[in-house]
Amino acid sequence: MHPAPSIIFFTVFSGLGFGMLSFLGLGKPDVSGFTAFVFFAIAFAMAVGGLAASSLHLGNPQRALKAFTQWRSSWLSREACLAVAALATMGLYAIGVVFFDTRIAILGLLGSSLSILTVFATSMIYAQLKTVPRWNQWTTPVLFLLYAMTGGAFFTAQMWLMPWLFPLLTVVQIVAWVLGDRRFANAGHTLETATGLGRIGKVRMFEAPHSSDNYLTKEMVHIVGRKHVSTLRIIGLLSLTFLPWFAMVFLPFGHMLALAAALLHILGALTTRWLFFAQAEHTVGLYYGQR
- CA–CA separation, 216 and 221 (whole Å): 7
- Least distance between other proteins and beta carbon 2 (Å): 10
Contacts 24+ apart (CB under 8 A), 196-204: 204/289
With a CB cutoff of 8 Å and minimum separation 6, the contacts of 43 are 17, 18, 20, 21, 24, 90, 155
Question: Which of 52, 85, 104, 203 touches other proteins (CB under 8 A)?
Answer: 203
Interface positions, 76-115, toward other proteins (CB under 8 A) = 76-77, 80
Cβ atoms within 10 Å of 88's Cβ, excluding its own: 12
Question: Which of 35, 102, 186, 214 touches other proteins (CB under 8 A)?
Answer: 214
Question: Which of 29, 100, 130, 259 touches other proteins (CB under 8 A)?
Answer: 130
Q: Which stretch binds other proteins (CB under 8 A): 24-32, 74-82, 158-166, 227-235?
A: 74-82
- Least distance between other proteins and beta carbon 65 (Å): 9
**Does 184 help bind other proteins (rule: CB under 8 A)?**
no
What SS3 class is residue 275? helix
Crossing angle of helices 139-155 and 105-127, rounded to 10°: 140
Site string for other proteins, 139-168 (x = CB under 8 A): ------------------------------
**Does 277 help bind other proteins (rule: CB under 8 A)?**
no
- CA–CA separation, 142 and 63 (whole Å): 31
- CA–CA separation, 165 and 189 (whole Å): 35
Residues that bind other proteins (CB under 8 A): 1, 57-61, 63-64, 66-70, 72-77, 80, 125, 128-132, 187-189, 191, 193-197, 199-216, 218-220, 282-284, 287-288
